[in-house]
Amino acid sequence: MRRPTSPKANRRRHPQETVPLETMPQETMPQETMPQETVLRAPRRHGEGLLFDTAYLEPEIHLWIRTADGGLLHLSTPFHPRCYLTGPREVAGRAARRLADEAIAVPLGWTRRIEFWSGRPIPALALRVARPGALVERVRRLLRAERRLAAYDVDLDPALVFHSRHGLFPLARVAFSWDPDGSGGGSGDNSGGNSTGGRLVFIRALDTPWDPGFVLPPLRVLTLRLTRSPLIPLEGSGPLNSVRAESAGEACEIDPAGPAPGLAALAALIERHDPDWIDSERGDQTIFPWLLEAVQRTGIELPLDRAAPPVRRKITRRTQAIVVYGQVMFKASAYPLLGRWHLDRANSFFIDKAGIEGLVELARMSRLPIQRQARASGGTAMTAMEIHLALEKGMLVPFIKDQVEAFRPASELLRADKGGLSYFPPAGIWEGVIELDFAQQYPTIMAVHNVSPETMDCACCVGKNPVPGVAHHTCSRRRGLVPEALSGLLSKRLKYKRLLKTCPPGDRSRYDARQSAIKWTLVTTFGYQGFKSAKFGHIAAHEAITAWGRETLLIAKEVFEDAGYRMLHALTDSLYVLKPGFDPAEVARLADEVRSRTGLTLGVEGVYDWICFLPSKVRRELSVATRYFGRFADGTLKLRGLKVRQHGTPPFIRAFQEALLAIMGACRNRAELEAAAPRLRSAYEEAREALWRGRVAPAELAIAARVSREVERYKANGPVPVCLRILAARGIRIPPGQKVRYLIVNRAHPDPLERYLPEPFLDEARGYDAVAYQAMLLDAFKEVTVNLERPRHVWDGPQQQRLL
């Protein structure tokens, strides 16, 4: 295993030294009794292994450790997280007595903890939480009744707190001791034949999550899939779906009409192969609820959990529609397993974006259990990292966000909240354009300028570190929590980027997945600052970040314009400039100058042989900022906002536009593009002919659209409501946030129900609406050829002949 990390990086995050369970180093209170008070019946044992899974089942934390011989050891220990109350002594004392009376938490005594906003220690009443599940609601009621009370560390994930307290993280290499005979949870259920069970006495990590050389251990996988379209239900009166399981070449299928034999086969498969990971698609939403109900009905035991105490699962199909950036997204309820991972590809942002390698990377950084991180967002990962840092510093983690924006005059509000800068490029074809991008602009700004909620507008640095153009400043005396967490991520991503350049080809995909998972996390950190329920977010921080973003982009523009470059386009963190016969060395020198003036790395994304900026479809005199495409000098194409990149576009239209772009991509300059115009035209004629002759399969013409509400709440006769009605009549419901795919059968049909045909019934189609699809085909054609057919540039630039 390579260890390319510098020793410095490893020293920064050395695994915590020996911390006995149930104690915290920051506190001065008398130490609690450790759990080894039980009479030992067998000698204590010690071991090393990989921390495979962590789960908190009140009142115990359960760990599953993979030992060197490949076995899985299940250990448990009672775990009581801490929470804190602050306020006048009698007020906090009264609240603590309430919690004690209800056996939710036991007061331990007054201590001093660091307050998040001021960074100063304040007196806080510590409590030992017996029932974390009941705590949140109870504390919320107490806070509502008593304004002088504040509560901290209340709603933290117990598994995260346990990890943080002992320096642990998923798949950490750990050294541990345990008492085999202790009453360690449920050691009885022994599905894999490799659990001894026992009580954990001591554990510590032997490596750090910052080591990029980490290698994922081999995992035994069982895949669980629906055999037909996921829209076809597993129960009901119509045609039914079924479930197929596969592991190491062996497979079985569960038929919903008579599930017993299939379930028995699946149970046998799990027993025999003992998978580490159940890799499902739609497991959370569809397969698991149905599977568990079938288990109840048939009485067949399915050993889903591994070496774990028996748990009762609430079966729910409840789905949640959440709004992300104005779009209704879909979130299924979760079915995590114990001692075995269940990861649903359809319910996991990070598996989708960066695969298992990326997910594991992120879970190690966030210290959240794998199955929890799989279903969480980048924002959750960031918050978890910030919570870990806060706990490490003995800082109180705020429960209810009690900060408010300070009053500002309306004119100041106008100046502050402006977002990123976005120009309108002159539409047309341009040759020799250089694209320059700020690498990770917003996260770097937060790290460089110490932008964090608690460092914004501090009392100690008034007049220093002003944010350009807005009335904010940042603290120069203490490092913010957010920048500290970000710096770690940024530097680790940099390590992977460097490794990508030097590693053997076999390791490339692994490092690439990991750096991409970090990238996706970084991307979400900024948006989180303005999010009203972010634990460590603040609207002033959000404004400061965009203000620095505008400032850095303007500096870059000025540096290049001063050197005689013409700025064609700029968009938040990227700049498009032009200078005939430019010198690459000069560009590198100017980029360096921008870095020294802004602290941000400005990299050359590439030089375009040609780039097409597109005119607006609504106002032909204007161009659009976010739709363009071009060919880099190395022959690769860069596409932004085109039909091929949009999710709803039918495969046929997408393939057609890809074919056009392939033709254009082979052209090295404007003259060749112009010469290619007849070939583009004939590609269009060919596609149109195929369409009219009925040679296109319905599935190739399916349009995808997102459902934004329940079927009853749609009023109009648009394609989505019509499809939902057709599906509902056939017993299929699609919850908001999910997509529906449909074929346009005849848009002009008087009966709306005859106009469209949704999946999974596309094969019933006897025809399609060629008129409607030809219009889409023409749109896709014009989108990429518009600059070849227009007589001249929209604003300025040389005259062009009409080509098409």
Partner 1 sequence: MGKSITPYSHVVDQVEAAFSDFRRALTRADQARCDTLFNYARRHTPGGVLQSDPDPFRTVLLGMLIELMRRLDEEQR
DSSP strand pairing (173-179 vs 250-254): unpaired
Looking at this protein, which amino acid is placed at residue 141?
R
Nearer to partner 1, 406 or 748 (CB): 406
Count other Cβ atoms within 10 Å, centred on residue 476. 13
CA separation, residue 56 to residues 159, 275, 311, 339 (Å): 6, 22, 12, 12
Nearer to partner 1, 455 or 529 (CB): 529
Q: How far is the CB of 758 from partner 1 (least distance, A)?
A: 33
Contact between 419 and 469 under an 8 Å Cβ cutoff? The reply is no
HSE-CB at 488 with a 13 A cutoff on CA atoms is 24
Nearer to partner 1, 415 or 739 (CB): 415
Nearer to partner 1, 328 or 461 (CB): 328
- Report CA Rg, the chain: 30
Nearer to partner 1, 305 or 543 (CB): 543
DSSP SS3 for 420? coil
The DSSP annotation for 576-606 comes to EEE-TT--HHHHHHHHHHHHHHHSS-EEEEE
Nearer to partner 1, 570 or 776 (CB): 570
Q: How far is the CB of 421 from partner 1 (least distance, A)?
A: 5
Nearer to partner 1, 187 or 598 (CB): 598
Tell me which residues touch partner 1 (CB under 8 A): 325, 411, 413-415, 417-419, 421-424, 469, 527, 529-531, 539, 542-543, 550, 570, 619, 621-622, 795-796
DSSP strand pairing (243-247 vs 602-615): unpaired
Nearer to partner 1, 424 or 632 (CB): 424
Q: How far is the CB of 419 from partner 1 (least distance, A)?
A: 7
CA separation, residue 444 to residues 421, 438, 456, 546 (Å): 17, 9, 16, 12
Nearer to partner 1, 661 or 794 (CB): 794
Nearer to partner 1, 467 or 711 (CB): 467
Question: What residues contact residue 733 under an 8 Å CB cut-off, 6+ apart?
Answer: 711, 727
Nearer to partner 1, 417 or 754 (CB): 417
Nearer to partner 1, 529 or 785 (CB): 529
| SS3 labels along 671-683 | HHHHHCHHHHHHH
Q: How far is the CB of 110 from partner 1 (least distance, A)?
A: 38
Residues 707, 708, 710, 713: what is their CA dihedral angle, to the nearest 10 degrees? -120
Count other Cβ atoms within 10 Å, centred on residue 729. 9
Residue 641 per-residue DSSP state? S
The DSSP annotation for 108-173 comes to EEEEEEE-TTT-SEEEEEEEEES-HHHHHHHHHHHHHH-TT-EEES-S--HHHHHHHHTT--TT-E
Beta strands in 206-280 (DSSP E): 221-226, 243-247, 250-254, 277-280
Structure tokens at 534: 């972010």
How far is it, in rounded angstroms, from Cα 739 to Cα 643? 18
How far is it, in rounded angstroms, from Cα 32 to Cα 11? 30
Q: State the first-to-last Cα distance of the chain, in angstroms, to the nearest integer.
A: 59
DSSP strand pairing (319-324 vs 243-247): unpaired
Nearer to partner 1, 414 or 462 (CB): 414
Nearer to partner 1, 417 or 686 (CB): 417
Nearer to partner 1, 117 or 423 (CB): 423
Nearer to partner 1, 245 or 625 (CB): 625
DSSP SS3 for 249? coil
Q: How far is the CB of 420 from partner 1 (least distance, A)?
A: 9
How far is it, in rounded angstroms, from Cα 160 to Cα 173? 17
Residue 40 per-residue DSSP state? P
Count other Cβ atoms within 10 Å, centred on residue 221. 17
Structure tokens at 276: 């580490």
The DSSP annotation for 707-744 comes to --S-GGG--S--HHHHHHHHHHHTT----TTSEEEEEE
Q: How far is the CB of 794 from partner 1 (least distance, A)?
A: 10
Phi, psi of 199 (to 5 degrees): -105, 125
